[in-house]
Structure 1
Amino acid sequence: MPGACAGVSPCDNSPCLNGASCSETTTAIGYTCSCLGGFIGQNCAVDAKTVSEFTCGFETENNCVFENVDDDDFQWTYRSGSTTSGGTGPSSAYEGTQYVYTEASSPNFQGDTAVLSTVNTLLAGTSSYCLQFYLHMYGIPGTMEVKFGNRGSSSSSVWSESNDQGNQWVFHQVELPPSFTDPVIFFEATRGSSYKGDVALDLVKLSLGQCASGPSARATNPCNNGGSCNENGSAAGYYCSCMTGWSGDNCDVQDVSGNSYSCGFETDGAPCIFKDTTNDEFDWTRRTKSTPSSSTGPSSAATGDYYMYIETSSPRVIGDTAVLTTQDTNLPAGSWCLTFQYHMKGSSMGSLSVFAGDRSSSLTSIWTKSGEQVDPDLWKTATIDIPQQSNPVIMIDGIRGSSYRGDIAIDDIALNAGTCASAGK
């Protein structure tokens, strides 16, 4: 009951915003706010200026009608450049230098939500709206929703996306019906099952009236990493002019030069030409010390502190595959020597394979090991000749066996130009 305790007032917490004064009442919340001109709402938080059109490019923080809410699990964050995790998130903004995104790494968990809302802005009601935005969902995303409703009432989902859209910004538009007198719009991102689920937004536009037809290929900009899009008469409708250091149809293949590359996995997020692909059932995981399951996996790295492994416990099932690939790297032409340390201990061990070939054709298996290996507690060395190709691609596949006792680990990957001193072992 308001004022029940002497010296305690609901106004002590300063619930009235934007210079408003607070007075105690006998209502359920115990106070009322006297708003200054230009603000309305229970706590004087809503800008009384009616907005009918706006654009948010996120170049300046806190200058957008879409704002973080306080009653969700985590927040949208302003960002420039890449997000902090590999294999997810954009490498740059769609336009300008900044965008907003949800960080899917710990301490955020599956099912956590982050919400942007127009709740602090008075939108013109009783009219149709067209909401347009660019979305980046790459990796193992959760769900992105647009919700719409009346202020103070429950909102309904009017659009959602839960699929990997590739490493690119994708244009979307949502028509919002003229159903509400005091409308509020929400962007709600729900974290998926993996840290590789960063979701990003850029260039959000709201305009009165129905949506026109979608944008051209140039407007959707399928060209990544700063590439420019040029429309033409091809089946795709465009071609990309890539920035220096990038190639591929959509500028998503990094060009490298040199004759030696190595991946020791000692630093999280350190550049490695072997990367997880999204076209498999699960991912390789960076680990130190033992794997979580008994009687399988190494007790420590081959060298240093960290290695990569496949976790074969539930929800994994027999035949599930985890792939590391050089697909995103344009290796120089020629033959190569691949070496790495591998560990295959467990009564239900699956298989570890290396595939190689040219980017323009299918890859061929050139090395494989299956089942628990001799002296299973010891790390073994693989030395593999990669046949000469004009545009080589290499994949390392770990395939889950019949039970959780099938963790496969690798460490100290090295790739050197030329043939190996000895044949593959």
Structure 2
Amino acid sequence: MVRVRVKGDIAIDDIQLMPGVCAGGDIAIDEYTTNAGVCAGGMLIIVVRVRRYAIDEIQLMPGVCAGVSPCDNSPCLNGASCSETTTAIGYTCSCLGGFIGQNCAVDAKTVSEFTCGFETENNCVFENVDDDDFQWTYRSGSTTSGGTGPSSAYEGTQYVYTEASSPNFQGDTAVLSTVNTLLAGTSSYCLQFYLHMYGIPGTMEVKFGNRGSSSSSVWSESNDQGNQWVFHQVELPPSFTDPVIFFEATRGSSYKGDVALDLVKLSLGQCASGPSARATNPCNNGGSCNENGSAAGYYCSCMTGWSGDNCDVQDVSGNSYSCGFETDGAPCIFKDTTNDEFDWTRRTKSTPSSSTGPSSAATGDYYMYIETSSPRVIGDTAVLTTQDTNLPAGSWCLTFQYHMKGSSMGSLSVFAGDRSSSLTSIWTKSGEQVDPDLWKTATIDIPQQSNPVIMIDGIRGSSYRGDIAIDDIALNAGTCASAGK
């Protein structure tokens, strides 16, 4: 239909076109065309011309018609030359330097190494492609859905991610590609990146191949990696003359499947056998790693609320803390350390060995104890410590219930001091403690410190009959009303 635009309001309604013969006429509407015109005064005239035609034996074959060259339409751009081929499109373009693509339409940049931090949009060799289902999106802060996605970039303020919420569905893909970049060199490449896959993710793949050819998956991940940025490196083989790299994220079964990327780096050569301190990111709880010339080789910039060399010390501001051990995994400022021989164990009712340990908790159902059976030997130590908590400066009162029944009992000790110096023993009990009550109360003053740390050590005695238990730990700011009991 030819549409003619004129000034003035025109309206038509209830146009009907039906096959067959019109009532009172003999015209069969098998094939028709329309035309339109405008008369003086703005009246619209629609003319329908009806003819009878028939067609048969339509054939569509690959290639080009005899006597017609696909190069006649000049499909090759930017000075490229066109040559006929027997391929489906019937031609190939020989691009001039700096241009790539099927029709030499892309003005490509050439790189051998690069880093994408995604701090500035459209400034990375990895770009969204047009023939996928949805797009990677630049983002700062949290993603829009709870229970998935990062709360911040790994480094800087921005990252890219795939949003798994509606209207995206399971199986939809979002692709980043270097298709508009010429990767120089024919050696191996090392691709490094930080990936965040938290919630119910789908699949993340790295694909590699020659431009214009199919690509192959060289790396994939489809598991929940926790609410953290995880470093990955992938070695890309030197088997391609014009390589293209793809990041392909496939949406999983839930909207809680946001996938995020940050700090993508490509370098010539093989990947190192072990990543650097920056690559392994020793900084915990969202801290960022910065390389320097120190003995450790790095320092951490911690998120608010965390401190310590590796951002593993939580800053707190309260004046009262308690640990009753009734709920497994419940927050407690006293935690097992990794610098001892064995661990304290959460337990209900009796311990496994006879003639040692309590038959029940001091209060409630659960307590903590040290199991002194084999493979434990005399002198082995299990430590609970507040070293992962940055307690406010000042003096503190520590109280807890303890149980030391057994003929081969070791000792229970409390150490305290400043985080920057060695700790001092301030309370200890050795041997069996059964008179007058099996569960006893310890009340201990913790001397004033600017950055206090407290440790509770359970030390194994001469045999398996030396289980030590503790319960109802409480730590309160200030001094105890009756210290030393």
TM category (shorter chain) comes to 0.5 to 0.7
Deviation at 1:242, TM superposition (A): 1.6
Q: Distance in 2 between matches of 1:7 and 1:400?
A: 96
> Which stretch of structure 1 is more off in the superposition, 318-327 or 162-171?
162-171
Q: Is the 8 A contact 2:287 2:303 kept in 1?
A: yes
Structure 2 stretches lacking a partner, 5+ long: 1-60
Deviation at 1:185, TM superposition (A): 19
Q: Distance in 2 between matches of 1:305 and 1:29?
A: 76
Q: Distance in 2 between matches of 1:407 and 1:286?
A: 13
Q: Is the 8 A contact 2:396 2:477 kept in 1?
A: yes
Residues paired across the two proteins, number: 425
Q: Distance in 2 between matches of 1:375 and 1:138?
A: 53
Q: Which residue of 2 aligns with 1:298?
A: 358
Q: Which residue of 1 aligns with 2:323?
A: 263
Deviation at 1:408, TM superposition (A): 0.3
Deviations 1:143-181 (A, max 9, x none): 999999999999999999999999998867687999999
Residues 206 and 298 from structure 1, CA distance in 2 versus in 1: closer, same or farther, beyond 3 angstroms? farther
Tell me the TM-score normalised to structure 1 length. 0.56
Residues 223 and 365 from structure 1, CA distance in 2 versus in 1: closer, same or farther, beyond 3 angstroms? same
Q: Is the 8 A contact 2:195 2:260 kept in 1?
A: yes
Secondary structure at 1:172 match in 2: strand
Deviation at 1:248, TM superposition (A): 1.2
Residues 300 and 417 from structure 1, CA distance in 2 versus in 1: closer, same or farther, beyond 3 angstroms? same
> Which stretch of structure 1 is more off in the superposition, 227-236 or 261-270?
227-236
Deviation at 1:400, TM superposition (A): 0.8
Deviation at 1:110, TM superposition (A): 35
Secondary structure at 1:107 match in 2: coil
Q: Which residue of 2 aligns with 1:36?
A: 96
Q: Is the 8 A contact 2:64 2:90 kept in 1?
A: no
Deviation at 1:241, TM superposition (A): 2.2
Deviation at 1:132, TM superposition (A): 6.0
2:253 matches 1:193: yes
Secondary structure at 1:219 match in 2: helix
Secondary structure at 2:195 match in 1: strand
> Which stretch of structure 1 is more off in the superposition, 201-210 or 144-153?
144-153
Deviations 1:226-256 (A, max 9, x none): 1223344444443322211111122111000
Deviations 1:369-402 (A, max 9, x none): 1111133861000000101100000000001111
Q: Distance in 2 between matches of 1:381 and 1:358?
A: 25
Structure 1 stretches lacking a partner, 5+ long: none
Deviations 1:70-91 (A, max 9, x none): 9999999999999999999999
Residues 213 and 412 from structure 1, CA distance in 2 versus in 1: closer, same or farther, beyond 3 angstroms? closer
Q: Distance in 1 between matches of 2:319 and 2:443?
A: 17
Deviation at 1:296, TM superposition (A): 0.5
> Which stretch of structure 1 is more off in the superposition, 305-314 or 189-198?
189-198
Residues 194 and 335 from structure 1, CA distance in 2 versus in 1: closer, same or farther, beyond 3 angstroms? farther
Secondary structure at 1:97 match in 2: coil
- What's the % identity of the aligned pairs? 100
Q: Distance in 2 between matches of 1:194 and 1:310?
A: 43
Deviation at 1:43, TM superposition (A): 39
> Which stretch of structure 1 is more off in the superposition, 125-134 or 44-53?
44-53
> Which stretch of structure 1 is more off in the superposition, 240-249 or 390-399?
240-249
Q: Which residue of 1 aligns with 2:405?
A: 345
Residues 375 and 163 from structure 1, CA distance in 2 versus in 1: closer, same or farther, beyond 3 angstroms? farther
Secondary structure at 1:157 match in 2: strand
2:387 matches 1:327: yes
CA RMSD of aligned residues (A): 12.0
Q: Is the 8 A contact 1:143 1:161 kept in 2?
A: yes
Q: Is the 8 A contact 1:126 1:181 kept in 2?
A: yes
Q: Distance in 1 between matches of 2:68 and 2:325?
A: 56
Residues 310 and 224 from structure 1, CA distance in 2 versus in 1: closer, same or farther, beyond 3 angstroms? same
> Which stretch of structure 1 is more off in the superposition, 133-142 or 234-243?
133-142
> Which stretch of structure 1 is more off in the superposition, 5-14 or 38-47?
5-14
Residues 271 and 60 from structure 1, CA distance in 2 versus in 1: closer, same or farther, beyond 3 angstroms? farther
> Which stretch of structure 1 is more off in the superposition, 122-131 or 111-120?
111-120
Residues 9 and 203 from structure 1, CA distance in 2 versus in 1: closer, same or farther, beyond 3 angstroms? farther
Q: Is the 8 A contact 1:87 1:276 kept in 2?
A: no
Residues 120 and 239 from structure 1, CA distance in 2 versus in 1: closer, same or farther, beyond 3 angstroms? closer
